């Protein structure tokens, strides 16, 4: 598509009015979007708007969604290279459009080259201020929170970015319903203590205090992924933790073996198929420790451990871990919320919750959060 000469080109750091969503380093030359749901938002009064992106990957390509006036209007794969993408054209030049460019795919820890950057804009109008919303939500989770399986047929089994969608996730839906800004920190297969395959290094708590520390490789480090995150700059009102599903799977997976040291790790079952109590206690302690870390960095937030979209085998252990934390600290702004289970008719691709399951979860979670924030 031809870019007309009447469009004014600006580097992103020259745009006075815009809002960046998601954890970043603050750099706008260019802006790197790391996590799923990360976004760039404008209030644009004009008829045609383009953005310049730079994309790289070895295995897992980024995808973006475009949201105009609160409604997702397009979704696309981004191929490698540096090029311009049209967000809209031919619209009424006198009407202000709220526009968000949203990263649809999680931070890909399995592909150090995977990168999405935004350099600048071409526009024929004016950017107006983007007001802050009254609430801030942070979501921490695994593949469910990454929106894996939220798009695609139930027969799809390939582990590819196409089947991930931030916009079809309960995170986006809950934030919209509550008129909140939101951020997501999520990684497929990861847990509180270990990943689904017992890897003790694949847990979200270890990386929570970094910008996006689970991304490896020299370029990601140069981009600042391992920098300490500035918590004072953005304090959530509610932190939703949706972890535990993969910790439960670890009990049914083979032991993890470190190829370098020979170290092994395994969550074990009893002979009757129940979880071994001493291993459950290690998980419960991981829950307690993570709540301590969350409270240290988010002193005023309500902490909601939300779990259940893929069964509830770890729910009793989550309750016990939370209870130990509450009794030790007397912190009353912590609770557990059971999310509705995914059914056959609400399933998505890759045996994960589909968009309908996310809608149901968002509806119930929204009501629960409203009750916490506005009890009267």
Are residues 302 and 177 part of one domain? yes
Answer left, alpha or beta for residue 304, where phi above 0 means left and psi between -120 and 50 means alpha.
beta
Residues 241 and 290 in one domain: yes
3 domain-assigned: no
Maximum CA extent, the chain: 73
- Same domain flag for 245 and 360: yes
**Given this model, what pLDDT does residue 1 score?**
60
In a shared domain, residues 210 and 303: yes
Q: Regarding predicted confidence, which is higher, 376 or 335? A: 335
Clarify whether residues 46 and 173 are in a common domain: no
Q: What percent of the chain has pLDDT over 90?
A: 98
For residues 148 and 209, membership in a common domain is answered with yes
Q: Could you read off the pLDDT of 171-221 as tens digits, one per residue?
A: 999 999 999 999 999 999 999 999 999 999 999 999 999 999 999 999 999
Say whether both 88 and 170 belong to one domain.
no
pLDDT at position 376 is 77
Is 0.75 topped by the overall pTM? Answer: yes
Do 120 and 92 reside in the same domain of the chain?
yes
pLDDT confidence of residue 237:
98
- In this structure, the answer to whether residues 220 and 284 fall within a common structural domain is yes
Provide the 10 A C-beta neighbour count for residue 209.
14
Mean of per-residue pLDDT scores for the chain: 97
* Residues 280 and 329 occupy one common structural domain: yes
C-alpha to C-alpha distances, 48 to 9, 23, 84, 123, 310, nearest whole angstrom: 12, 28, 13, 6, 43
Contact (Cβ atoms closer than 8 angstroms) between residue 294 and residue 303 = yes
**Residue 2 domain flag:** no
CATH number, domain containing residue 47 = 2.60.120.260
Q: Is the peptide bond before 30 cis (omega within 30 degrees of 0)?
A: yes
Determine, yes or no, domain membership for 321: yes
Confidence of residue 4 (pLDDT cuts 50, 70, 90): low
**Domain tally for the chain?**
2
pLDDT tens-digit series, residues 154-184: 999 999 999 999 999 999 999 999 999 999 9
3 band by pLDDT with thresholds 50, 70 and 90: low
Place 6 in a pLDDT band, splitting at 50, 70 and 90: confident
pLDDT in tens, 87-106: 999 999 999 999 999 999 99
CATH of the domain at 324: 3.40.50.1110
Rounded average pLDDT over 313-338: 98
In this structure, the answer to whether residues 108 and 240 fall within a common structural domain is: no
Domain that holds residue 204: 135-373
């Amino acid at each position: 598509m031809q870019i007309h000469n009447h469009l004014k080109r600006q580097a992103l750091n020259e745009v006075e009015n815009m809002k960046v969503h998601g954890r970043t380093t603050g750099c706008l030359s260019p802006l790197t979007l790391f996590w799923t749901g990360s976004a760039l938002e404008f209030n644009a009064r004009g008829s045609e708007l383009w953005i310049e992106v730079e994309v790289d990957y070895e295995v897992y390509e980024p995808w973006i969604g475009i949201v105009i006036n609160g409604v997702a209007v397009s979704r696309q794969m981004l191929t490698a290279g540096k090029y311009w993408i049209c967000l809209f054209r031919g619209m009424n030049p006198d009407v202000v459009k709220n526009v968000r460019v949203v990263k649809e795919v999680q931070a890909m820890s399995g592909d150090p080259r995977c990168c999405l950057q935004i350099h600048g804009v071409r526009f024929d109008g004016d950017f107006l201020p983007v007001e802050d919303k009254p609430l801030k939500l942070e979501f921490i989770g695994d593949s469910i929170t990454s929106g894996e399986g939220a798009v695609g047929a139930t027969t799809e089994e390939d582990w590819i970015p196409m089947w991930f969608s931030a916009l079809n996730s309960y995170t986006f839906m809950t934030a919209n319903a509550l008129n909140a800004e939101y951020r997501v920190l999520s990684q497929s297969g990861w847990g509180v203590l270990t990943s689904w395959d017992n890897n003790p290094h694949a847990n979200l708590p270890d990386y929570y205090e970094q910008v996006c520390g689970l991304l490896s490789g020299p370029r990601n480090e140069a981009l600042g992924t391992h920098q300490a995150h500035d918590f004072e700059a953005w304090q959530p009102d509610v932190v939703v933790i949706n972890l535990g599903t993969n910790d439960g799977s670890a009990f049914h997976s083979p032991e993890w073996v470190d190829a370098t040291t020979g170290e092994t790790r395994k969550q074990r079952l009893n002979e009757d198929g129940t979880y071994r109590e001493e291993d459950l206690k290690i998980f419960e302690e991981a829950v307690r420790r993570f709540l301590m870390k969350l409270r240290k960095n988010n002193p005023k937030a309500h902490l909601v451990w939300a779990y259940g979209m893929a069964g509830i085998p770890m729910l009793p252990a989550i309750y016990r871990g939370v209870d130990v934390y509450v009794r030790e600290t007397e912190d009353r702004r912590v609770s557990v919320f059971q999310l509705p289970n995914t059914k056959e008719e609400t399933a998505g691709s890759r045996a994960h919750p589909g968009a309908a399951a996310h809608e149901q979860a968002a509806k119930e979670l929204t009501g629960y959060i409203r009750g916490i924030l506005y009890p009267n």
